Structure 1
Amino acid sequence: MEKKILHLLLLLALLVVSCDAPRNNPLDPENPANKIISIEGNILTDTKSPEPVSGVSIYWMNERISGLSDENGYFRVKCSGQTDGWLYFRKDGFATDSVFINWNGKTKISLQVNLNSLPTLKSFSFFSIVRNKYSTVDYQLAVECEINDIDDDIDSVSLVNQGYKISKQLNKLSASKFEGDYYDYELGVTSLENLVGKNFEIVVKTSEGSNITIGKASIKRIIKDVIEFISPANQEVVSSTPNLKWKKFTQGFNFTYTIEIFSDEPEPELVWKKEAIPSTETSIDVDSAIPTTPNNNKFFWVIWCVDEYKNMARSRTAGFVVQ
């Protein structure tokens, strides 16, 4: 009997000691070494219908740990400690983002991150326009661009040149199309030739106030030579399908002609136009009858030189009468 009591006491002592022993067993759920500290979550587009973003670079600065989001936008960063700090997200085509991690005693942080995509240029034209008149010459710079922006958060688009302190907001034609044209005096320069070869930027301002440069371009040339017409001119009487003639125009670059015919009225209307006429031509037949009215049978025509960059120069006007 005494031996049984002694065995029971020894067993109880062993149990007490084992309860106080360090939990080093790797299978013991109470083993501190088995507590996984992690940051995980999903990365989505910042759109009305968010979609997963794969291949996002994730960087936990505290421990210099990096990783990538998978095809479902999921990521997980295993940490060795619980020191508060910044988690960064980077991917080409998206604005860099970051989240401050405050552990507050937790061992797992779960996040949902919505990345803002950067607007990109789908098309971009930047060119000069010269209009020759009898008493003066008008000079303009023009820009046309189409922008992709899946977040639909464009506030404005501007044409910017830091060196000349030029910043001109473009006109919005639609959600993605913008354009603008500016005379030399509006740009604060005495001659557009001063701007040839100088870099201009297309800068998008988002609804959040960020300014993003999405493209750069420069003016290649100003066409200053004047195309001279031959006929019809000086109110010459012609048929409704006249033959238009001009002097050969020789330049050291590739170009085509564009011809326009307008009604000669206080508010002229375009009645005929022909584009992409080869530079080797010096005449063309109007291929559809010019419409006259009882109140007006007077018209004028102009011819444009248009180079491969869309830089263009217009002739002076030549008037004629349709009979």
Structure 2
Amino acid sequence: MLESYPQGAKLGKRRLAVLLLLLLCSCRAERFNPLDPRSPRFKDEWVVAGTVRDWNSGYIEGVRIELKPGLMSGVTDGTGEYEIKKVPRGSYTAVASKEFCSAETIQVEVVPGSPTIVDFKLDRLPVFSQIRATTHDDSISTGNDLYAVFSAKVLDPDGWVLSDSVFLGLDTSIVWPMRDLGSDSFGLTLPDDSLPGNNLEYLIGRDLVLLATDNAGRCSISDAFGITRIIYDIPVALSPRFYAPQNPPTFKWSGIDVQFEFTYTLTVEMLYPSDTTWVYGGISSDSTSYYQESDTLPPGGFLWSIEALDLFGNSSKSRVEPFTVD
């Protein structure tokens, strides 16, 4: 004989069965949920990501972002974006750095869930190129003492104007301002009487650097460089003097006797009726004369000089001699 149960009792049993099923599924879900710390599948690995820009909001490629402590790092791509995976939760110091850029440090707290976004803004520092340091002896030709010439290209990738902010430094205690020549070029001429002891040899063997400060107040320092030598032996211009008996003239001089490689450069400058200049470089160090058959000079007044030039650009120059051509 079948027994009957009240309708409410049947519903109660069904509800109990559903609750037991849900509880079982819930336990199983927690057990296998990789985001649940109680799950054997749980991995405490999260993502730190972001973008690196410069002061003009341009993207910077090749910036290295490091998380400390630890050995976790990433590098920005062409759009300035980076991503560091498998980062355990916790507190970190994020450091963004790249050569010729200021470094930036940000404190980061990595928590479970969506990626931790950390953006950086770096200042691109001034960059030096084409640094040149030479000595010159024009004392015979101009009556001036020995002097050194310094030149360089200095570019700020952020677009800051660097006028009045580029300097030549010596021994961290002596600094000379360099003159803005335009087109990112800077130059400085130092006569020997502006140096300690009034002697250009004070610079020989000493480390020189260039310093540039951008509008953000950050300073960039070049690699050390120096003066290689001073050429004290000076060529002597012999002829023509006052009058050139033939045209084109044969230029003759007394050479220098040194133990390093060099060449001569001949300069002819017309004084009247025009101001044309002819320069003949790369003349052999064995030569003591020069004749260019194809360069007939027009009638007028001229000056000429001969200069010895080594491989580094150091030079010594003869006295300037005048001559005329009929």
Bucket of the pairwise TM-score, normalised by the shorter protein: 0.7 to 0.9
Alignment of 1:223-302 (within 5 A): 223-233=231-241, 235-263=242-270, 269=275, 271-286=277-292, 287-292=294-299, 297-302=300-305
Q: What is the rounded CA distance, in whole Å, between the counterparts of 1:230 and 1:28 in structure 2?
A: 93
In structure 1, what is the equivalent of residue 65 of structure 2?
A: 58
The answer (yes or no) to whether the contact 1:25–1:31 under 8 Å persists in 2 is: no
Paired residue secondary structure (2:258): coil
Paired residue secondary structure (1:25): helix
Pick closer, same or farther for the CA change 1:310–1:173 going to 2, 3 Å: same
In structure 2, what is the equivalent of residue 182 of structure 1?
A: 190
- The equivalent position to 1:75 in structure 2, one of 74, 83, 92, is 83
Q: What is the rounded CA distance, in whole Å, between the counterparts of 1:163 and 1:96 in structure 2?
A: 24
1:185-236 per-residue CA deviation (whole Å, 9 max, x = no partner) reads 3345510012112111122222211111133211111111121222112x23
Q: Which amino acid aligns with 1:305?
A: A
1:232-274 per-residue CA deviation (whole Å, 9 max, x = no partner) reads 12x2353442111112322111111111123458xx9453221
The answer (yes or no) to whether the contact 1:35–1:107 under 8 Å persists in 2 is: no
Q: What is the rounded CA distance, in whole Å, between the counterparts of 2:34 and 2:280 in structure 1?
A: 85
Q: What is the rounded CA distance, in whole Å, between the counterparts of 2:142 and 2:119 in structure 1?
A: 65
Pick closer, same or farther for the CA change 1:135–1:148 going to 2, 3 Å: closer
Pick closer, same or farther for the CA change 1:26–1:166 going to 2, 3 Å: same
In structure 1, what is the equivalent of residue 150 of structure 2?
A: 143
Structure 1 position 48, deviation (Å): 5.5
In structure 2, what is the equivalent of residue 172 of structure 1?
A: 181
Aligned-pair RMSD on alpha carbons? 3.7
Q: Which amino acid aligns with 1:224?
A: Y
Q: Percent identity?
A: 20
The answer (yes or no) to whether the contact 1:300–1:318 under 8 Å persists in 2 is: yes
Structure 1 position 116, deviation (Å): 4.0
In structure 2, what is the equivalent of residue 86 of structure 1?
A: 93
Q: What is the rounded CA distance, in whole Å, between the counterparts of 2:301 and 2:31 in structure 1?
A: 102
Structure 1 position 119, deviation (Å): 4.3
Paired residue secondary structure (2:138): strand
Pick closer, same or farther for the CA change 1:157–1:26 going to 2, 3 Å: farther
In structure 2, what is the equivalent of residue 191 of structure 1?
A: 199
Alignment of 1:110-129 (within 5 A): 110-129=117-136
Pick closer, same or farther for the CA change 1:237–1:11 going to 2, 3 Å: closer
Structure 1 position 183, deviation (Å): 1.6
Pick closer, same or farther for the CA change 1:7–1:205 going to 2, 3 Å: same
| Residue 317 of structure 2 is aligned to residue 314 of structure 1 | yes
Q: What is the rounded CA distance, in whole Å, between the counterparts of 2:49 and 2:88 in structure 1?
A: 14
Structure 1 position 283, deviation (Å): 0.6
In structure 2, what is the equivalent of residue 305 of structure 1?
A: 308
Query: Which residues of structure 2 form unaligned runs of 5+?
Result: none
Q: Which amino acid aligns with 1:278?
A: S
Structure 1 position 123, deviation (Å): 2.2
Q: What is the rounded CA distance, in whole Å, between the counterparts of 1:270 and 1:314 in structure 2?
A: 20
- Give the structure with higher Rg (CA): 2
In structure 2, what is the equivalent of residue 203 of structure 1?
A: 211
Structure 1 position 161, deviation (Å): 1.0
Pick closer, same or farther for the CA change 1:171–1:71 going to 2, 3 Å: closer
In structure 1, what is the equivalent of residue 50 of structure 2?
A: 41
The answer (yes or no) to whether the contact 2:265–2:281 under 8 Å persists in 1 is: yes
Pick closer, same or farther for the CA change 1:284–1:164 going to 2, 3 Å: farther
Pick closer, same or farther for the CA change 1:274–1:14 going to 2, 3 Å: same
Structure 1 position 168, deviation (Å): 2.7
In structure 1, what is the equivalent of residue 220 of structure 2?
A: 212
Pick closer, same or farther for the CA change 1:164–1:275 going to 2, 3 Å: farther
The answer (yes or no) to whether the contact 1:238–1:321 under 8 Å persists in 2 is: no
Pick closer, same or farther for the CA change 1:199–1:48 going to 2, 3 Å: same
For normalisation by structure 2, the TM-score amounts to: 0.78
The answer (yes or no) to whether the contact 1:126–1:142 under 8 Å persists in 2 is: yes
